Structure 1
Amino acid sequence: MERPTLTLKNNEERRLRAGHLWVFSNEVDTKKTPLTAFTPGQEAVVTASRGRPIGVATVNPGSLISARIMDQDPEVRLDADFFRARLREALAIRSRLYSTPHYRLLFSEGDHVPGLILDRYGDVIVGQLNTAGMDSRKELLLETIVAELAPSTVIWRNDSPTRDFEGLPRVVEVAYGTAPENLEVNEDGALFAVPALGGQKTGWFYDMRENRSRLCRLVGGRTVLDLFAYAGAFSVRAALAGAAAVTSLDSSETACSMAADNAARNGVAERVEVVRADAAAFLEECAAAGRTFDVVSLDPPALVKRKKDLEAGLKVYERLNRLAMDVLAEDGLLLTCSCSQHVDAYELRRAALRAAMARGRRGQILDQGRQGPDHPAHPAMAETDYLKSFLMRLVQQ
């Protein structure tokens, strides 16, 4: 069956030739190939203005990103064999990286399957179909997942705001099997549980695992503050690593309940104090009372969701870093993080530096982190290298 062609305007193919996977609507020659002629999710061959093929893509005429390149070979078909090969390729590297099946199995563009995210919780798979291209192939993808992984359950957590931009409804559904009450996570021997059909995103933030592991090497005998702790991943692991006392803080009642349950599950409840509070208000209260911590983890949610909000967002990052430094003990360690795609590592570093200077602290960067290897970055797409972190040692001037 012949596939339609999506033709670009003159010279708009250069970024794609360099490996980028997104075609924006203003790059399409709509006189030659009107976007209105395509149905959401339709497979097409993308060509340069003079007809030279660039690759095969899925198209969404109603989205700002009107096409996403799935493969640079224009002869490729987006059938079961294609997705089976991508899944096996992703599984091969995760199996080498992790000793248990608890990781992000497919990371969208990072694994050359734009729009598809799969997280693995033992024999339970939780996925997101974030584009019309993936959503329209939901049954094909489910068949492939079941055939390749033999899961007990597959859950689609299609409630991401990203789907709004694709004209897709938000919905959570159990696509295969029966959903357990909780998803179980084994992170370097620490055991966690989070609600299978609730919680944030797909349930667990696998992307911070390596950052947590590195910081846990430095917490023995120390007091620790874990801000924006969610289900207590770092809090519990810090206690297991020998921290003297851990304060696990989140503003969500549900998150605090999960953190407390996970601390008890790992036998460290007596050293993990769970606090429900606004992070900034808590830091101000601690500073006023003269309370300090040897180690502070500052990992807020994305504060810059749109490029136009960058300046305002950087001010919030700087303020949070200042407040965290106010409660950091002399010769303390601060892990400062940003998962905002629009904030690059240099900008986060500068925000932390300005905060340190404002608080009369000399800083040393001991480690620079990113998302874990189960969230691979696409080498041509800076957008996929979204998580940044700096582990800083801070002493008084």
Structure 2
Amino acid sequence: MEPAVSEGIAYPALYLKRGEDARLRAGHLWVFSNEVDVARSPLTGFTPGEPCVIVDARDRPLGVGYVNPNSLICARLVGRGLEHALDRSLLTHRLKVALGLRERLYGEPYYRLLYGEADGAPGLTLDRFGDVVVAQATTAGIERLKPEVEAAVRKVLNPAALLWKNDAAIRALEGLPSYADVGFGAPPGALEVREGGLAFAVDAIGGQKTGWFYDQRANRDLLAPFVRGARVLDMFSYLGAWGLRAAAMGAREVVCVDASAHAVEAIAANARRNGLAERVRAERADAFEYLKALRERREHFDVVILDPPAFVKRKKDLAEGRLAYRRLNELGMQALARDGILVTCSCSYHMPRQALLDGVQQGARHLDRQVQVLMQLQQAPDHPVHPAIPETDYLKGYLCRVLPA
């Protein structure tokens, strides 16, 4: 294998086929296995997570990255040019730049601190919960760089603790195990997140993702004019973020529904924690069955919030997923009062924004309803979208008014 050496960087070279550098030069950071010139740089010569220099067919280096020969996305570009090695210094710089944005956005240290490719650190997610950072590595390259990640976090933030929540399903595609572990420090028994003047207890190890869905915060901030004095239904509630925020904004009654008994207990505890227990009720049920039961007994709400988990995890699941979103939205509209508000979301990257809206409209026409889109929803600004990487733009939603036809 041919080495690429410059300014003290001595990483093996990963050569691209002719013309396969165009997407990287346009800003993307991924290299697919069929784009590699395996005659010059056999993928079998690399170990998972190994640093490399990505080089085009004319021997021009594009930058420094890392390789996983066992993955379809076989390499990721981390730094353009050869000025910086793939080390804690580069990660420290990325983290400082990311922190600068979050400190401009938020007055308290509760946010997504670093969002993978969009913040120049592909494969790495960092969420901040006050003095604790929860990290997630989804690639072999970041798994190999864990000590450097921890050193960068210590240098920039010096938090009390860092936890690794490495149980994302995508790790299996990288040949990585699923686990949770303490990187450093002594984390508290339960973490706390503050949002909209409320405090929520978070289980970073046993909870979903890294413990909290910061990506919906900006959308939850928009609820106020629609929920004052209203009866609100919050489906797929998890820890009750949407529902409790609605209650704090003046909703007269909130029903939170989740299929998890642990989530229902957590919602009730968070309601008591924030003095909202009298107006918030948590129920355990399957979302589709619960909405069908509401339809049968003709029970209605002024606001219905639908924030489900991803129904389309792979492109081949799109047809089935589109149908599921349409069914969910139609059931949600049947639970609405005559002049009601529907908040509908999808965190499925493979579900196009227009397809979600089409499902809402099709459901409305089937029910002889009229829909007015009042706001389009997207992920919060601590999840910035990289314009050259559509995969970073995954969350879409609509806040709609639903009227009789």
Common fold, TM-score beyond 0.5? yes
| Distance (Å, rounded) in 1 between the aligned partners of 2:25 and 2:359 | 35
Query: Residue type of the partner of 1:316?
Result: A
Aligned equivalent of 2:160, options 132, 137, 152: 152
Aligned equivalent of 1:72, options 65, 74, 80: 80
In structure 2, the residue matched to 1:178 is 186
Q: CA deviation at 1:329?
A: 0.6
Aligned equivalent of 1:343, options 324, 348, 351: 351
Query: Residue type of the partner of 1:37?
Result: G
SS in 1 for 2:402: strand
Output one character per residue of 1:119-176: Cα deviation in whole Å (capped at 9) or x when no partner. Answer: 0000000000111111101111111111211111110001111111111111100111
Aligned equivalent of 1:284, options 279, 292, 296: 292
| Distance (Å, rounded) in 1 between the aligned partners of 2:189 and 2:83 | 44
Q: CA deviation at 1:53?
A: 1.8
Are positions 1:130 and 2:138 aligned together? Answer: yes
Output one character per residue of 1:287-316: Cα deviation in whole Å (capped at 9) or x when no partner. Answer: 110100000100000000000000110000
**Contact residue 232 and residue 303 of structure 2 kept, 8 A:** yes
Q: CA deviation at 1:216?
A: 3.0
Query: Residue type of the partner of 1:124?
Result: V
In structure 1, the residue matched to 2:205 is 197
| Distance (Å, rounded) in 1 between the aligned partners of 2:11 and 2:49 | 13
Q: Percent identity?
A: 50
**Contact residue 7 and residue 49 of structure 1 kept, 8 A:** yes
**Contact residue 181 and residue 196 of structure 1 kept, 8 A:** no
Q: CA deviation at 1:326?
A: 0.6
SS in 2 for 1:256: helix
Output one character per residue of 1:189-247: Cα deviation in whole Å (capped at 9) or x when no partner. Answer: 11101123211010000000011110233200000000000000111111111001000
| Distance (Å, rounded) in 1 between the aligned partners of 2:337 and 2:302 | 5
In structure 2, the residue matched to 1:247 is 255
**Contact residue 230 and residue 259 of structure 1 kept, 8 A:** yes
Aligned runs of 1:46-195 on 2, under 5 Å?
46-195=54-203
| Distance (Å, rounded) in 1 between the aligned partners of 2:21 and 2:183 | 38
| Distance (Å, rounded) in 2 between the aligned partners of 1:374 and 1:103 | 7
SS in 2 for 1:319: helix
Aligned length: 397
| Distance (Å, rounded) in 2 between the aligned partners of 1:348 and 1:117 | 27
Aligned equivalent of 1:16, options 24, 28, 34: 24
| Distance (Å, rounded) in 1 between the aligned partners of 2:269 and 2:135 | 25
Query: Residue type of the partner of 1:251?
Result: A
SS in 2 for 1:196: coil
Output one character per residue of 1:332-382: Cα deviation in whole Å (capped at 9) or x when no partner. Answer: 000110000101211111111111111111111000011100011111011
In structure 2, the residue matched to 1:37 is 45
| Distance (Å, rounded) in 2 between the aligned partners of 1:80 and 1:194 | 29
After alignment, is 38-47 or 368-377 more displaced? 38-47
After alignment, is 229-238 or 214-223 more displaced? 214-223
* Moved segments of 4+, more than 3 Å: none
Aligned runs of 1:352-367 on 2, under 5 Å?
352-367=360-375
TM-score, normalised by the number of residues in structure 2: 0.97
**Contact residue 180 and residue 196 of structure 1 kept, 8 A:** no
| Distance (Å, rounded) in 1 between the aligned partners of 2:117 and 2:10 | 26
| Distance (Å, rounded) in 1 between the aligned partners of 2:256 and 2:111 | 23
Query: Residue type of the partner of 1:248?
Result: C
**Contact residue 199 and residue 273 of structure 2 kept, 8 A:** yes
**Contact residue 338 and residue 388 of structure 1 kept, 8 A:** yes
TM-score, normalised by the number of residues in structure 1: 0.99
| Distance (Å, rounded) in 2 between the aligned partners of 1:360 and 1:309 | 29
Root-mean-square deviation (CA, aligned residues, Å) is: 0.9
SS in 2 for 1:372: coil
Query: Residue type of the partner of 1:238?
Result: A
| Distance (Å, rounded) in 1 between the aligned partners of 2:126 and 2:79 | 19
| Distance (Å, rounded) in 2 between the aligned partners of 1:229 and 1:217 | 21
Aligned equivalent of 1:369, options 374, 377, 384: 377
After alignment, is 112-121 or 207-216 more displaced? 207-216
Q: CA deviation at 1:110?
A: 1.1
Are positions 1:269 and 2:310 aligned together? Answer: no
